[in-house]
Amino acid sequence: MAGPQPEGTSPFLAILSRLKYIERWSLMRNSRPENLSEHSLEVAMIAHALCVIANVRHGRHLDESRAALLGMYHDASEIITGDMPTPVKYGDGRLRDAYKDVEGRARRRLLDTLPADLRPALERAFVAGEGEDERYVARLVKAADRLSALIKCLEERACGNSEFVTAEEATRKKLRRMRQELPEVDEFMDEFLPPYGRTLDQLL
């Protein structure tokens, strides 16, 4: 992002378009590479579905579109930082805290590229707000992120790639805890997860 921008222009959306160049699972041998753009869309769709389940089946009044928006932008800072592999990011508490700080700085740097009058509205897409409902939505977005990771592991295993076996076990362990606290995650895994990995003919 070095160099001056033409006067009166904002590089914000041009920077976001670079999500497609950030590859996930960089320490792993992938049968099919996954970029951050497709991951973000999947997280947004799953988070939206989790909120629908919460509202329809559990009497909540969550903003489903808000969940999709937070999911869509949840990894945008990685355009600047790159994708930090999970074992590295969470392997040490000090490193985890330092990386959170780096992510926050990257997010602010990205938002600084916005015109001043648009920044407040778009900033809300990056950070969950206050209130019980907003915090619950943020938890569902985090669950959606982990579900997306599990789906990737299942797809790789279906391709005969044993590289993701350990990652799948670790992800399932995290999701087991979430299933106990978030009924939406439990229901998603029972009803929507099993068809992943099937062919289109089987799905239809």
pLDDT digits (tens, 9 = 90+) for 134-173: 999 999 999 999 999 999 999 999 899 999 999 999 999 9
- DSSP states along 91-149: SSHHHHHHHHHHHHHHHHHHHTTS-TTTHHHHHTTTS--SSHHHHHHHHHHHHHHHHHH
Please report the pLDDT score of residue 26 as a whole number. 87
- The dihedral built from the CA positions of residue 193, 124, 26 and 38, taken in this order, carries a sign that is positive
Helix 183-191 with 36-58: angle, nearest 10 deg: 110
Please report the pLDDT score of residue 41 as a whole number. 98
Closest CA to 165 of 177, 176, 150: 150
Q: Tell me the β-bridge partners of 23.
A: 35
d(CA 82, CA 19) in angstroms, rounded, equals 10
* Token pair recorded at residue 98: 């330092």
What distance lies between CA 113 and its chain's CA centroid?
22
Contact predicate 56/183, CB 8 Å:
no
Please report the pLDDT score of residue 1 as a whole number. 47
Fold of 12-18+31-192: Hypothetical protein af1432 (1.10.3210)
Indicate the length of the chain as a whole number: 204
The reported pTM is 0.90
Contact predicate 155/196, CB 8 Å:
yes
In the chain, pLDDT over 70 holds for what percent of residues? 93
Residues in contact with 100: Cβ distance below 8 Å, sequence separation at least 6, in sequence order: none
pLDDT tier for residue 88 given thresholds of 50, 70 and 90:
low
Mean pLDDT value across residues 35-61 = 98
Helix 183-191 with 165-181: angle, nearest 10 deg: 130
Please state, as a whole number, how many other Cβ atoms lie within 10 Å of the Cβ of residue 29.
10
d(CA 42, CA 11) in angstroms, rounded, equals 25
**Whether pLDDT at 90 is above 70:** no
Please report the pLDDT score of residue 94 as a whole number. 82
